[in-house]
Structure 1
Amino acid sequence: MIAYAEGPRGLPTDPDPESVTALTEALRPRTRMALYDAPGGRPRAWLPPRISGLPVVAPIVARQNGWAAVLVPAANRTVGWVPEAGWQSEPLRDQLVVDLGERRLTWLRAGAEQAHWTVAIGTDATPTPLGRTFVMGRTGTSGSVYAGLDALVLGSVPEEPEKMAASLRKAHTGIHAWTNSSVFGKDVSNGCVRTPAAVQRKLLAQLDPGTPVVVTA
């Protein structure tokens, strides 16, 4: 997990949070941009070019009357609207789907399944957040249990921070390696998705910032 300031408030909920329809375009802000609560509405938060050193590449989920809605980091199942100007468009080729019921992570490229794996997910008390989010980037890990591999940082955050250890209350959900294979197929984490080391190596080699991630029940 990676920590930074509390997420934005006053923005609308994602209209289709568990949709697995592939998102094919993202925006990369050139400068700090205002996020609005509706097309032509009120500005509620800022979307900067970088957050905690990670480049912001936010998937676009809808368009309306010259505005685009993007997934918002640090706010689960939340979107923000921006005018169709002042940002760079980037194509998206990959998608991850986390099926909590099956404890399965599926990697798709251009809508076609590339592979799927059994993973570990959050407990009932500290669940893996449902809904659409995205890969913000990668961060280093500390401890042999992570196999010396970076974690993928997601835009989602703990559903109930008060149930987390103090050091994790302002952290982000991640996808990371785990060397103890007994956890796979189980609900054991603080909300992160734990993968075998070989899987994590593949994800780190293949996925770019902005890759959509959908967590379904």
Structure 2
Amino acid sequence: MGFWGVLGSRGRRKVAVGVGVAVLMSGAAYTGWALTPATAPAPVVGSTGEVVPTTPASPSAVAERVLPAAPAPDGLPVIDYDPAPAGFPDDPDTLDTTPLTQGLQPTRRLAAYDAPGGRPLAFLMPTISEVDLTVPIARRESGWTAVLLPSANRKLAWLPPGDFRTVALRDQIVVERKPFRLTWYRDGTAQRSWQVSLGQRGQETPLGRTFVLGRTPPPESVYGGVDIYALGSIPDDPDSVPAGLRGAHIGIHTWYHDGELGQQTTNGCIRLTASGQRLLLEKVGPGTPVVVVDELPAPPPTA
């Protein structure tokens, strides 16, 4: 899908397919946790050591444990490509690299809350800039579902039951800042790794979990003629990037040469080889979880 507008190397905005959305770029640099499996409750042990049988909760009792959703005023902001509204909770597992395996697709306008049964802060729509939205599911609690918040860093949005569908997410992208490495996983198994360029000092590639929001055609030949991924994340310090890039998202893309791989040269985006980007574009779709960490722990030594 080619749908994102982008900022060219001299700061001018180019719009793809009539959609004015920006991916972080500049002339010198341009700027993918599984749901916790349900566990059986601990057995109830009587005073003499015997296991006391328990009766499963009835459907009505289970329904009573779902926290109600407060009505959402019509005037709440809509989550779009601009920075998301403040007030959403931090992602407590933002550096967890265990794959997120389910995505959520809104089927209508959904009120997004700051906690299960909490305050409505904004609306999450089925599309962002006319593109179907898939957000990774981070956790579930009290009948509610938490997703990675688009257009924000390391934040969750809580959604009440209903008016969305879920899809399987097989892929994941893990980016390590210290070794300058991007690894693509499928079903928890590493498929390929590439050396990458990352954000320069003061404009570092943001840490934490995000996801592939969508893709855009390259605006200029310096981007190697290969489509670009726009992520759900944005610069940690919007004022640190050049004025022409304000409001842009972090992206994954290639460049017209590979001479800066393994260096901090971008405005926060993740740059890899053209062949690597083409493979990711072929294999990895919107909603794919992406997590940026400093470095993965070393595997335990073999016996």
Q: C-alpha deviations, 1:66-93, integer Å up to 9, x for none?
A: 0010000111000010012110101100
Give the one of 110, 119, 126 matched to 2:196: 119
Aligned pairs (5 A) from 1:88-99: 88-99=165-176
Q: Distance in 1 between matches of 2:269 and 2:89?
A: 25
Identity percentage of aligned residues: 48
Is 1:32 the counterpart of 2:109? The answer is yes
Give the one of 226, 229, 234 matched to 1:149: 226
Contact 1:17 1:77 in 2 (8 A): yes
Specify the SS of the correspondent of 1:185.
coil
Contact 1:56 1:136 in 2 (8 A): yes
Give the letter for the 1:127 counterpart: E
Q: Distance in 1 between matches of 2:245 and 2:204?
A: 13
Is 1:135 the counterpart of 2:195? The answer is no
Partner of 2:143: 66
Structure 1 residue 203 displacement after superposition: 0.6
Structure 1 residue 23 displacement after superposition: 0.5
Is 1:56 the counterpart of 2:133? The answer is yes
Is 1:17 the counterpart of 2:94? The answer is yes
Q: Distance in 2 between matches of 1:31 and 1:100?
A: 37
Structure 1 residue 128 displacement after superposition: 0.6
Specify the SS of the correspondent of 1:179.
coil
Q: Distance in 2 between matches of 1:214 and 1:75?
A: 14
Q: Distance in 2 between matches of 1:169 and 1:55?
A: 24
Q: Mark the runs of 5 or more structure 1 residues left unpaired by the alignment.
A: none
Query: Aligned-pair RMSD on alpha carbons?
Result: 1.0
* Pairs aligned (count): 217
Larger Rg, first or second structure (1 or 2): 2
Is 1:45 the counterpart of 2:122? The answer is yes
Normalising by structure 1, report the TM-score: 0.97
Moved more, 160-169 or 9-18: 160-169
Contact 1:9 1:45 in 2 (8 A): no
Contact 2:83 2:234 in 1 (8 A): no
Structure 1 residue 54 displacement after superposition: 2.5
Is 1:212 the counterpart of 2:261? The answer is no
Q: Distance in 1 between matches of 2:169 and 2:227?
A: 22
Q: Distance in 2 between matches of 1:69 and 1:38?
A: 9
Is 1:7 the counterpart of 2:59? The answer is no
Q: After the TM superposition, which segments of 4 or more aligned residues of structure 1 sit over 6 Å from their partners?
A: none
Give the letter for the 1:173 counterpart: I
Q: C-alpha deviations, 1:139-173, integer Å up to 9, x for none?
A: 12222221111100100001111111122110100
Decide which structure has greater strand share: 1
Contact 1:60 1:70 in 2 (8 A): yes
Q: Distance in 2 between matches of 1:149 and 1:77?
A: 28
Q: Mark the runs of 5 or more structure 2 residues left unpaired by the alignment.
A: 1-5, 7-20, 23-80, 295-303
Moved more, 190-199 or 51-60: 51-60
Contact 2:135 2:148 in 1 (8 A): yes
Contact 2:102 2:169 in 1 (8 A): yes
Partner of 1:184: 261
Give the letter for the 2:183 counterpart: T
Partner of 1:110: 187
Q: C-alpha deviations, 1:25-73, integer Å up to 9, x for none?
A: 0100011111100001010111111112322100001100100100001
Give the one of 151, 154, 168 matched to 1:77: 154
Q: C-alpha deviations, 1:118-155, integer Å up to 9, x for none?
A: 01000111111110000011012222221111100100
